[in-house]
Amino acid sequence: MTEEAKEPRAADPEAGANVVEAPEASKGEREPSDALQEELEALRRKAEENWNDYLRAVAELDNFRKRSARELETARRYGAERLGQAILPVRDSLEAAIASGDNITVETLLEGDRATLRLLDDALASVGIREINPVGEPFDPTKHEAMTLQPSAEHAPDTVVAVIQKGYELHDRLLRPARVVVAAPPQPQGEE
Instruction: Tell me, letter by letter, the H, E, C secondary structure of the chain.
Output: CCHHHHCCCCCCHHHCCCCCCCCCHHHCCCCCCHHHHHHHHHHHHHHHHHHHHHHHHHHHHHHHHHHHHHHHHHHHHHCCHHHHHHHHHHHHHHHHHHHCHHHCCHHHHHHHHHHHHHHHHHHHHHCCEEEECCCCCECCCCCEEEEEEEECCCCCCCEEEEEEECEEEECCEEEECEEEEEEECCCCCCCC
Q: Is 140 among the domain residues?
A: yes
Q: Is 142 among the domain residues?
A: yes
Q: Is 136 among the domain residues?
A: yes
Q: Is 152 among the domain residues?
A: yes
Here the CATH number for the domain that contains residue 135 is: 2.30.22.10
Domain containing residue 171: 129-187
pLDDT of residue 160: 96
Q: Is 81 among the domain residues?
A: no
Q: What is the tens place of the pLDDT at every residue in 48-81? A: 999 999 999 999 999 999 999 999 998 888 888 8
Q: Is 91 among the domain residues?
A: no
Q: What is the tens place of the pLDDT at every residue in 109-144? A: 888 889 999 999 999 998 899 999 999 999 999 999
Count: domains in the chain:
1
pLDDT of residue 103: 78
